[in-house]
């Protein structure tokens, strides 16, 4: 009798455990579908290019021009290659899937997928590059305003040493 109960418990745990695993796989698949529907793969590439442009403009406004000094250019190129490789969609995809699968329920993921397939969702995705570009422009303008103060803080901290 004891052996029969133990066997039944093992079977129940196995069945429940495999359902949880199947649910988790389904949720991860839904999260991946959502991310692709949102165009995260395309948007991440565009965002990286916007960041590169913003970075070059910021450095140029500080008097650092990467094309004038070959060592600086080599450094900037290596740094940018490292950043774009590590922050690429392919490298970050699994992390994003995990985040979305952890944060949203299956029902919420389904609702979001349906939204992004709707006319409003499609329009939102279509307008995303423009929204991102304008957001970066605002950030860059604010950064430009901060540069004199940042430069002054750096100079003051160097003088104190």
Phi, psi of 39 (to 5 degrees): 75, 25
CA 18 – CA 127 distance, rounded (Å):
41
* Summary mean pLDDT of the chain: 81
Q: Provide mean pLDDT across the span 3-21.
A: 55
Q: pLDDT tens digit string along 25-40? A: 999 999 999 999 998 8
Q: pLDDT tens digit string along 78-128? A: 888 888 888 888 899 999 999 999 999 999 999 999 999 999 999 999 998
Residue 131 has pLDDT above 70, yes or no: yes
What is residue 8's predicted lDDT score, i.e. its pLDDT? 58
Sketch the domain layout of the chain as residue ranges.
2-160
Cα 150 vs. chain centroid, distance in angstroms?
27
CA 44 – CA 90 distance, rounded (Å):
10
Residue 68 has pLDDT above 80, yes or no: no
User: Smallest Cα–Cα separation from 33: which of 96, 83, 122?
Assistant: 96
Q: pLDDT tens digit string along 32-63? A: 999 999 988 877 777 777 777 777 776 676 66
């Amino acid at each position: 009798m004891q052996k029969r109960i133990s066997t039944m418990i093992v079977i129940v745990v196995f069945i429940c455990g495999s359902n949880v695993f199947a649910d988790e796989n389904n949720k991860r698949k839904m999260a991946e579908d959502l991310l692709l529907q949102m165009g995260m793969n395309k948007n991440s590439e565009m965002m990286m290019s916007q960041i590169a442009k913003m970075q070059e403009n910021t450095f140029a406004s500080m008097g650092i021009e990467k094309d004038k000094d070959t060592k600086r250019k080599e450094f900037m190129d290596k740094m940018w290659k490292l950043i774009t490789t590590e922050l690429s969609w392919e490298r970050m995809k699994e992390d994003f899937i995990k985040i979305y699968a952890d944060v949203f329920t299956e029902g919420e993921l389904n609702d979001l997928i349906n939204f992004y397939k709707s006319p409003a969702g499609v329009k939102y995705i279509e307008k995303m590059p423009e929204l991102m570009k304008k957001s970066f422009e605002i950030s860059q303008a604010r950064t430009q305003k901060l540069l004199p103060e940042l430069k002054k803080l750096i100079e003051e901290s160097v003088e104190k040493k």
